[in-house]
């Protein structure tokens, strides 16, 4: 059975699995589903068509699944889907999607969303993402796995951030950020690649060398983007141990829609 504080208001239509804990003065709406082991603190509002997975920790004063802030939104039954083992800290605001796009905002597994983080409508956040205090995602943003977003950083609508990228403190992200890159500033600048993060994730020396070479081809040789893409694609043959990293970069560059940070 779920453990619900007597002062919490949980709609009879909500579906709470065994082991869910709901703290004092929390509100849970009728279309909410919460997976086993998730702990919801006091003074949280969970509403909308929201599905939350297992073993999440949701801290006090968070707003989960509220109507989004798109003026076109007319109350359609769009969704927010949150995976497993996420930590969502105080005053985070995670909102449902819009019918004009995916009709769903998606957050993966094992993410760490600090205080006042905002995830707007139709965003896709991968897994193992760290978003520091006051980091903000505009609508339709896509953030890959293992990305770190610095505090007070804003990401413009429709921007894509590739896996393993690191976005520094108080940065303005208005163009797509390729995988593995280290960026910061306003205006945004690419400072290098995320070598420390890759080492912490046990990337081999050969794989890190391939990422370093991709950074060099994109940013250090004065190449056009098309020339850099072709040279990076060729690395799959000369550095086969990093074929996965090369494929990730090639796919990202092919799908970039706002131009890449350069």
Residues annotated as catalytic are 121-122, 139
Whether 194 and 181 have beta carbons less than 8 Å apart is answered as yes
Nearest residue to 28 via CA among 41, 42, 11, 49: 11
Whether 184 and 191 have beta carbons less than 8 Å apart is answered as yes
Name the strand (E) or helix (H) holding 154.
strand 154-155
Q: Phi, psi (5° rounding) for residue 164? A: 70, 10
Strand 136-137 and strand 154-155: the pairing is parallel
Length of the chain counted residue by residue = 262
Cα separation of 3 and 78, whole Å?
28
Sheet with 57-58, side-by-side order of all strands: 3-4, 21-22, 39-40, 57-58, 87-88, 112-113, 130-131, 148-149, 166-167, 181-184, 189-193
Whether 153 and 135 have beta carbons less than 8 Å apart is answered as yes
β-pair partners for 88 = 58, 113
Cα separation of 232 and 214, whole Å?
6
Cα separation of 122 and 103, whole Å?
6
């Amino acid at each position: 059975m779920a453990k619900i504080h007597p002062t919490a208001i949980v709609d009879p239509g909500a579906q709470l699995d065994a082991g869910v804990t709901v703290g004092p003065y929390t509100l849970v709406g009728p279309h909410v589903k919460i997976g086993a082991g998730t702990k919801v603190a006091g003074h949280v509002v969970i509403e909308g068509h929201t599905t939350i997975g297992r073993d999440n920790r949701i801290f006090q004063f968070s707003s989960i699944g509220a109507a989004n802030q798109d003026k076109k939104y007319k109350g359609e039954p769009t969704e927010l889907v949150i995976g497993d083992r996420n930590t969502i800290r105080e005053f985070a605001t995670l909102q449902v999607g819009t019918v004009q796009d995916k009709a769903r905002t998606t957050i993966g597994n094992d993410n760490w969303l600090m205080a006042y983080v905002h995830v707007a409508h139709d965003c896709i956040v991968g897994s193992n993402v760290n978003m520091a205090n006051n980091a903000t995602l505009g609508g339709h943003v896509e953030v890959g796995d293992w990305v770190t977003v610095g505090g007070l950083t804003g990401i413009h609508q429709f921007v894509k951030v590739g896996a393993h990228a690191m976005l520094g403190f108080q940065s303005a992200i208005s163009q797509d950020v390729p995988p593995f890159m280290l960026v910061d500033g306003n205006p945004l600048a690419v400072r290098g690649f995320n070598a420390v993060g890759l080492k912490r994730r046990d990337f081999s020396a050969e794989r890190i060398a391939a990422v370093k070479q991709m950074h060099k081809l994109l940013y250090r040789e004065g190449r056009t983007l098309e020339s850099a893409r072709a040279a990076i694609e060729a690395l799959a043959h000369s550095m086969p141990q990093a074929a996965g990293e090369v494929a990730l970069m090639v796919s990202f560059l092919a799908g970039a829609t706002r131009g890449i940070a350069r």
